[in-house]
Amino acid sequence: MPEVYKNYINGEWVASKTGQTFENRNPANTDEIVGVFQKSDKNDVETAVQAAQDAYKKWRLVPAPKRAEILYRVAQLLVERKEKFANDMTREMGKVLNETRGDVQEAIDISYFTAGEGRRLHGQTTPSELRNKFQMSIRQPLGVCAMITPWNFPMAIPSWKMIPALVCGNTVVIKPATDTPLSVVNFIKTMEEAGMPKGVVNMVTGTGSGVGDPLMHHPAIKVVSFTGSSEIGQVVSKACAPDFKHCSLEMGGKNAMMVMPSAKLELAVDGALWGAFGTTGQRCTATSRIIVHKDVYKPFLDKFVERVKKLRVGNGLDPNVDMGPAVNQSQLENDLRYIEIGKKDGGKLLYGGERLTGGAYDKGFFLMPTVFADITQKMTIWREEIFGPVVSVAMCDSLENAIEMANDSLYGLSASIYTQDINEAFVAMRDVYTGIFYVNSPTIGAEVHLPFGGTKATGNGHREAGHQALDVFSEWKSIYVDFSGTLQRAQIDA
């Protein structure tokens, strides 16, 4: 019998009031039920928000260094459980074990780094223009924060949101993606064991319409932090607008890697493989466009395709496998639909393009790594985010042309350049309009202590991770203390 997991509300594991559940199946073997989860609705959301509101009264007054001590403990416990949690994550969403280990590691890293903010949370002090007057700015928490998280980084992304919110003194209600609730359950259990007071963190599982929607509209929610598609990001943004909820959105990408004539081609090929097919291409930072200078176009493509052919696709628990399945049936169908569009639009399919079948493949959502070449800027597969192992390669004839092509996108998350020419690297660093840029590595692999996020349709100006994450989960208060004993008027009295 598969295990049944409950919601976590006010420090208790409780069944949904709906009495309904949903199954979470392994995308590499759909015979395997990873767990059964609560199919919750607005009544569960209501109870969770209420619990978080009550807990906020005390939690905001816990000294930040003490809040942080619990977060350090979370990090320590995650270290101990890394292997088990990585295993669960591969079973629920398919990416290979090395990558799910990295996902848990990212949660560890953000927890250690952000817990350090408990002893900083820096504001400023400045001199006053008046005598005998002191002034400073401090960060204050906002209240209950809602988190709506995706399935591709099932523990890392929830941690990017929850840990900064908590260190600032907010309380949390999280709705995990329906494909990956187990990783969030694992994270929440770790928090519980680390001594998180009841009600500070709450989790409600279920669908976007059942849980996400009432959560983002709830009047007591002060911040909504969302990662997912730009389409749903608009829905979240509109839900937040009427009562001016703070809203932090992390959305799509169509990330370009540029390969210049001076590039080390083997290095660029290594980078392209990792950037395009890591996480089965299911990253908002995935390298989905490769722009290659005409002088090295053919040799790059030859080497690249030769290596793509050697990628082993299969169950991510097998250490010999390089690439796991698509996360679910509809993602697989979406990938195949884009492949058809790519062919119809005249893209040259160099490799892949088909679902893998036969034997164990029949039990999962496996797709061949797919390479399209000779792509032009108007083609749909060059413009739209696919979120699968499908990469498009196009030719450019200069650095300026490459930068123009890289920038010609709705999105602005990440980009990269392969070059040995330092001048080219600096021009590209300056002129590609994205939130993240890499030199001589692919478009993926952000570390937790720099801000993460993008321009244009990728985001709405906020950043996750780094100390910038604190800006989403705190508000400034400027405080003036007049100890002159007389009325002093700023801007008026000399």
Known catalytic residues are 250, 284
> Smallest distance, Å, CB 106 to ligand UN1?
6
Nearer to ligand UN1, 297 or 452 (CB): 452
Q: Give the separation between CA 334 and CA 386, rounded to whole angstroms.
A: 7
* Minimal distance, residue 412 CB to ligand UN1, in Å: 14
Of 178 and 227, the one with the shorter C-beta distance to ligand UN1 is: 227
Min separation Cβ 312 and ligand UN1, Å? 21
> Is 256 one of the binding residues for ligand UN1 (CB under 6 A)?
no
184 binds ligand UN1 (CB under 6 A): no
Largest CA distance in the chain: 86
Q: Binding of ligand UN1 at residue 285 (CB under 6 A)?
A: yes
User: How many C-beta atoms lie closer than 10 Å to residue 18's C-beta?
Assistant: 15
Query: What is the residue type of 468?
Result: Q
Q: What is the DSSP letter of 485?
A: S
| In contact, 385 and 252? CB cutoff 8 Å | yes
CA distance linking residue 442 with residue 273, whole number of Å: 9
The runs of H, that is alpha helices, within 156-281 are: 156-167, 181-193, 213-217, 230-240, 265-277
240: Cβ–Cβ under 8 A, 6 or more apart, which residues?
216, 224, 246, 247
Q: How far is the CB of 143 from ligand UN1 (least distance, A)?
A: 27
Residue with tokens 């401090």: 138
Return the SS3 of 57. Answer: helix
- The nearest distance, CB 177 to ligand UN1, in angstroms, is 12
Q: In 3D, which of 328, 445, 345, 340 has the Cα closest to residue 387? A: 328
Comparing CB distances to ligand UN1, the nearer of 396 and 444 is: 444
| Shortest reach from residue 115's CB to ligand UN1, in Å | 19
**Residue from the set 11, 197, 261, 445 that interacts with ligand UN1 by CB under 6 A:** 445
Give the interface segment with ligand UN1, choosing from 53-61, 118-126, 263-271, 442-450 (CB under 6 A): 442-450
142-171: contacts with ligand UN1 (CB under 6 A): 152-153
Of 147, 446, 457, 472, which lies in the binding site for ligand UN1, with binding defined by CB under 6 A?
446
Q: Is 177 in the site for ligand UN1 (CB under 6 A)?
A: no
Run of H or E including 444: none
Residue range at the interface with ligand UN1 (CB under 6 A); choices 129-137, 313-321, 374-382, 444-452: 444-452
CB of 153 or CB of 300, closer to ligand UN1: 153
Please identify, using beta-carbon distances, which residue of 148 and 196 lies nearer to ligand UN1: 148
Q: Does 444 bind ligand UN1 (CB under 6 A)?
A: yes
Strand 29-38 and strand 21-26: the pairing is: antiparallel
Nearer to ligand UN1, 89 or 296 (CB): 89
**What are the residues facing 203 on neighbouring strands?**
8, 174
Start-to-end CA distance of the chain, whole Å, equals 78
Residue 325 DSSP class: -
CA 141 to chain centre: 23
Stretch that binds ligand UN1, among 59-67, 87-95, 163-171, 441-449 (CB under 6 A): 441-449
Q: Which is nearer to ligand UN1, 93 or 142 (CB)?
A: 93
Query: Least distance to ligand UN1 from the beta carbon of 77, Å?
Result: 21
Task: Give me 228's structure tokens.
Answer: 């997912």
User: Minimum Å distance from CB 248 to ligand UN1?
Assistant: 15
Q: How far is residue 149's CA from residue 157's CA, in Å, rounded to a whole number?
A: 7
Spatial CB neighbours of 152, under 8 Å, sequence gap ≥ 6: 93, 95, 279, 282, 283, 284, 327, 387
Q: Per rule CB under 6 A, is residue 463 in the interface with ligand UN1?
A: no
Using CB under 6 A, count the residues that bind ligand UN1: 9
Confirm or reject binding of residue 284 to ligand UN1 (CB under 6 A).
Answer: yes
Shorter beta-carbon distance to ligand UN1: residue 47 or 114: 114
Which of 6, 67, 283, 463 is the binder for ligand UN1 (CB under 6 A)?
283
Determine contact, residues 94/30, Cβ cutoff 8 Å.
Answer: no
What backbone torsions phi and psi does residue 312 show, to the nearest 5 degrees?
A: -100, 125
| Structural contact between residues 44 and 232, judged by C-beta atoms closer than 8 angstroms | no
**Residues making contact with ligand UN1 (CB under 6 A):** 106, 152-153, 283-285, 444-446
